[in-house]
Amino acid sequence: MLADLEQLVTCESPSADRAAVAASAEVVARQGAAALGVAGERLVVDGSTHLRWRFGAGRRRALVLGHHDTVWPLGSLATHPWSLRDGIATGPGCFDMKAGVVQAFHALAALRADGHDLDGVTVLVTGDEEIGSPSSEALIRQEARGCDAAFVLEASADGGALKTGRKGASIYEIEVHGRAAHAGLEPEKGVNAGIELAHQVLAIAALADPAQATTVTPSVLRAGTTTNTVPASAGLAVDVRVLSVAEQDRVDRAVRALRTTVAGARTTVSGGPNRPPLSPDSSAALFSLAREVAGRLGLPPLEGVTVGGASDGNFTAGEGVPTLDGLGAVGGGAHADDEHVRVAEMPGRTALLAGLLATVLEGGGRG
């Protein structure tokens, strides 16, 4: 497992670099073929490379879901090299979520070794999750429909907790259009897009509702060209996280209804809801099953938490499929300098997934 993890981590795969993602997909494909006994399908959608293995129709069906892209740019290995020291593996993307991909393959290999034919299992490893899954969302939803369970190999929460709930996410880009003018000679002839942007930032931030755990965060901002020019354009990105579809809809309506304050300025809004919330109701039956399986395996008792980050599990839950997330690596530091995996936990998490799949495919753990 560690050799496989090293192979994946040392093949850098930033989401936006399609050539790098394609190269990473070849490594994933080789590992998947070795574990599963058959070659996977390479699915290239809008330049992003995804991989899929399907094993029959099956009376019971389960989707095993992961991604092989990362947030780390090419060259990150120079500053964050692969290492294995004192039971801790480090390197770009090791925790989020290349260790999860390795664990998924080894869980399925263990089932095959025990005589299971994997009938009813689909494995989907996508290549654009870290940028919102623009090319894989339809594929994920398609593979999830009709499944009895979706198991998402995203990294665990703190201490190895499973992710039994996730906030939904919306992403917006707001463009402000003004009119340029010389800031010294005739500023009154301009329409200052930067000032309008400031009004928009405050109005957008006010849409948050702490009582509902709804966050609305103006993030990337830009305005202007030179110091002596009234800004003719400006823009901002907005990140929204919600626990309910009702809140997601409320914020969406409010963002689209924002009014301008500076005379002559106008705004355009693009984007919208990206992932629906993953309600704890979607994971309750599978989480109960996971605790039973962990008990049978002699693993420590499992905890479940709701987190603010979204994943492709939000899509499977949005299709009405029971979904359990956070089954991947135990460690920490996702997207951060201290990203790491506690390697001693990998065999237990692998056995947990194998046990869950075996139980679901045999007709247990019905939601």
Computed from CA positions of residues 154, 158, 161, 165, in that sequence, does the dihedral angle turn out positive or negative? negative
C-alpha 146, offset from chain centre: 22
Q: What is the chain's Cα-based Rg? A: 23
What tokens does 119 get?
């009938």
Using an 8 Å Cβ cutoff, are 98 and 39 in contact?
no
Structure tokens at 270: 């693009």
pLDDT given at position 98 = 98
Secondary structure of residue 295 in the 3-state scheme = helix
Write the CA distances from 312 to 137, 205, 263, 284, 361, integer angstroms: 8, 26, 42, 18, 22
**Which residues pair with residue 221 across a beta bridge?**
236
Q: What is the pLDDT of residue 364?
A: 67
Q: How far apart are CA 306 and CA 136, in angstroms?
A: 24
62: nearest Cα among 27, 25, 107: 107
pLDDT of residue 29: 98
Residue 341 · residue 330 · CB < 8 Å: yes
Give the phi and the psi of residue 151 in degrees, each rounded to 5. Answer: -115, 120
Q: Measured between alpha carbons, how far is residue 219 from residues 74, 173, 299, 328, 336 in Å?
A: 24, 10, 41, 29, 18
User: Residue 348 — φ and ψ, nearest 5°?
Assistant: -65, -40
| Residue 367 pLDDT | 44
Alpha-carbon span 326 to 45, nearest angstrom = 26
From 126, 94, 89, select the one nearest 12 (Cα to Cα). 94
Are the C-beta atoms of residues 15 and 83 closer than 8 Å to each other? Answer: no
Q: Taking every pair of C-alpha atoms in the chain, what is the biggest distance, in angstroms?
A: 82
d(CA 315, CA 124): 13
CA separation for the pair 314, 241 (Å, rounded): 12
pLDDT tens track of the chain, all 367 residues? Answer: 999 999 999 999 999 999 999 999 999 999 999 999 999 999 999 999 999 999 987 789 999 999 999 999 999 999 999 999 999 999 999 999 999 999 999 999 999 999 988 999 999 999 999 999 999 999 999 999 999 999 999 999 999 999 999 999 999 999 999 999 999 999 999 999 999 999 999 999 999 999 999 999 999 999 999 999 999 999 999 999 999 999 999 999 999 999 999 999 999 999 999 999 999 999 999 999 999 999 999 999 999 999 999 999 999 999 999 999 999 999 999 999 999 999 999 999 999 999 999 999 998 654 4
Report yes or no: 348 and 178 within 8 Å, Cβ to Cβ.
no
